[in-house]
Amino acid sequence: MARARKPHPADVANANVVASAVRFEIALFLGVGRYATDTAETLDEARRKAARLVAMHRNGRCPLIYGVTADGRSGLVTDTPNTEDPMKIYAKKFNAQRAAKAAGHDPDEIDIIKTKDGFAWRVKRQRKSAADARDAKLAADPSREPLTDGAKHSAAPKRPLGKRAQIEAHARAGKLPEPPDFSAETHKRFRSKLAAVVALARARDLNGLRAFQINPVSTSPKAIARYRDLCVMALEASRSSKE
């Protein structure tokens, strides 16, 4: 009987990074240094957005998804999203609608097209992507235009950080994060594990947090792992500021 192949350490490390990711970055190569990109907070959301990029840019390429941890490490998600050609022909309209739903699209995001051989679906072309809107706003901002006679621009107000980015910024400044809300019944069997991590964080037991074993196989343990990593980051920052 053939023995199971032992995973390569690099593959194990990559999988651990993806499992502990606090956000996901999606990139689809369009050619000549151009990419269609997006971000997501969960892997399922990242896969849906990756499929949407494929539907909008049908160049035969597969998007790449990277998980990014709270401390900035990134790992490649190795199982590719559904990249089925959205212009595949189906015998029935219902089948085309079901295929679009399986690719992660809501009914109001797609058009069903009648062809001579059946039905196909495609993503509705959006007016502008978020990146396009942001770039257009920046281009129209007169404060970004060069000034003459050595004049200086007044400082523009900074955009507020998102919730996750704000929590990470606080952790990097040495502030412990609030524990995740496990009041929902789906989190019931993981409450004791979360309580153990909270106790270690409040005791400022950095070594105990580092050694705490979490198998992030579902939403609850992933949330605990993110909380643990943020606590480690905060305690490390606090220790460094005192040295």
Cα–Cα nearest to 64, from 83, 82, 78, 45: 78
* pLDDT > 90 fraction of the chain, expressed in percent and rounded: 10
pTM above threshold 0.75: no
pLDDT of amino acid 3: 64
Of 20-24, 64-68, 140-144, 211-215, the one with minimum mean pLDDT is 140-144
Residue 55's alpha-carbon distances to 84, 119, 130, 182, in angstroms, are 8, 16, 17, 36
Q: What's the pLDDT at 142?
A: 47
Contact status, residue 141 vs residue 150, Cβ threshold 8 Å: no
Q: What distance in Å separates the CA atoms of residue 132 and residue 14, rounded to the nearest whole number?
A: 32
Q: What is the pLDDT of residues 25-39, one digit of tens each?
A: 988 888 777 888 889
Tokens linked to 112: 């069903």
At residue 219, the pLDDT reads 86
Please tell me the predicted confidence (pLDDT) of residue 56. 81
State the pLDDT at residue 22.
92
Cα(177)–Cα(32) distance, rounded to whole angstroms? 42
Of residues 7 and 200, more confidence is placed in 200
Q: What is the mean pLDDT of residues 79-84?
A: 53
| 104-162: pLDDT as tens digits | 667 787 788 888 788 887 766 544 444 445 544 444 444 444 555 555 555 555 566 67
Q: How confident is the model at residue 79 (pLDDT cuts 50, 70, 90)?
A: low
**Residue 30, pLDDT score:** 84
